Structure 1
């Protein structure tokens, strides 16, 4: 039993703890090239949240990790078999119910640990922040927290070398041999503004990628994944500790 994982602990134990921060991992259920499981984002959320919470707990932060939400925004993948979409309005409803409980029970800090690029919680948290003014609501994208080029040779953002290396470290039993993986080639927008990144339009996934991957996974290794996992969970745990120690009436300097 890990006392910082809500799904594993029990009422006898949690009644003793003055929890300071609730962490809500949020993933997605979607195709990840030919070689990675549909639950890749969920697996990453589970393991990164748990390991970061372990480190934070050992540093004295009273963090509780809530069960991972397994569905994310997949509105650009409607024609890819069993990519499950959860609309932003549904995410807002789920978050509202979670926050209502936390607020009523005196846990005033929430961090969404996001594991899926299609999820964007900023506007949802802005709106819910007005409803729960005594709470501190935040989110982070763990996959943007590190300079990936220091760990991996090939760039990408979906079923790429980074995600494949992580899964080779965390759940190698769910990864097919890399010779079965597609190369993750992706098409770029023809319109210059979208190529430059200062204008945005949703990608139609089946039009940009033949294998659903974006980024070549062929150079992924377990060792790269292990190193990256250690460093990213160190950084996440620091955030957990900082949030636990933060005074909500003194957040700025």
Structure 2
């Protein structure tokens, strides 16, 4: 039993403990090349949230990790792939508001969304919900953006790549097929120069840009690389949790 994981703890523990911060891991359910599970985003985000919370708890912060939401926003071209589950941003907003409403009523005033899926965009959702709950402090952590991946991994990419594969090899190697069965994650680039150089943005047509649903070659992935990345990123996130737990949300700014 971990007192900082809601799904594993009990009313006896919670009844007698004041919690300062709630963490909401949010992933997705979608194909990840041939070799990784559909739940990759949710699995790795739940584990990273739990490890970060454990470090923060051991540092004196009273943290509670909520159950992971496995429903993400998908791109056009993914929606037709079997069992790829798509959630509208408006649906995510409603789910998030319900959770904020419950925590606000219960006196838990600090909530962190831990995002693990690149297609999710929680900043506008937080901007919409925050004014409705002036006594709450809502924030976002996107763990996959915190560290420079070049310090840990050789191959680039952003979906079922060397980083994600190494993390799942570290956490759940039994869920990963042999890398010899993985696609190479080759990506076709848009013909429009403005899309290539980021002058403009449009959602990727997933069935057009990738043959295997991956973006980035996973062949050089190892559990050791995943462990090193996870250790460093959870150290950074845990430090934020400790600081957030101790702060006065009505006195956050200084000269």
**Which deviates more, 24-33 or 231-240?**
231-240
Match of residue 66 from structure 2: 66
User: Contact 1:21 / 1:64 at 8 angstroms: preserved in 2?
Assistant: yes
- The CA distance in 1 between the partners of 2:146 and 2:24, in whole Å, is 17
Match of residue 157 from structure 1: 158
User: Contact 2:28 / 2:72 at 8 angstroms: preserved in 1?
Assistant: yes
Q: Measure how far apart 1:201 and its partner are.
A: 0.7
User: Contact 2:75 / 2:206 at 8 angstroms: preserved in 1?
Assistant: no
**Which deviates more, 198-207 or 139-148?**
198-207
Runs of 4+ in 1 over 4 A off after TM superposition: none
Match of residue 54 from structure 2: 54
* Structure 2: gaps (5+ residues): none
- The CA distance in 1 between the partners of 2:191 and 2:64, in whole Å, is 45
User: Contact 2:21 / 2:110 at 8 angstroms: preserved in 1?
Assistant: yes
TM-score (norm 1): 0.98
- The CA distance in 2 between the partners of 1:206 and 1:79, in whole Å, is 9
User: Contact 2:25 / 2:114 at 8 angstroms: preserved in 1?
Assistant: yes
How big is each residue's C-alpha offset from its partner over 1:205-243, in whole Å with a ceiling of 9 and x where there is no partner? 111000000000000011111111111111111111121
Q: Measure how far apart 1:198 and its partner are.
A: 3.8
Q: Measure how far apart 1:75 and its partner are.
A: 3.8
Match of residue 230 from structure 1: 231
Report the RMSD for the aligned CA atoms in angstroms: 0.9
Match of residue 241 from structure 1: 242
Match of residue 16 from structure 1: 16
User: Contact 1:75 / 1:87 at 8 angstroms: preserved in 2?
Assistant: no
- The CA distance in 2 between the partners of 1:233 and 1:251, in whole Å, is 23
- The CA distance in 2 between the partners of 1:92 and 1:75, in whole Å, is 18
Match of residue 144 from structure 1: 145
Match of residue 122 from structure 1: 123
User: Contact 2:75 / 2:204 at 8 angstroms: preserved in 1?
Assistant: no
SS in 1 for 2:158: strand
How big is each residue's C-alpha offset from its partner over 1:59-103, in whole Å with a ceiling of 9 and x where there is no partner? 000110000001100142112111100110100000111011100
How big is each residue's C-alpha offset from its partner over 1:112-131, in whole Å with a ceiling of 9 and x where there is no partner? 00000000011111010111
Match of residue 28 from structure 2: 28
- The CA distance in 1 between the partners of 2:147 and 2:75, in whole Å, is 27
Match of residue 175 from structure 2: 174
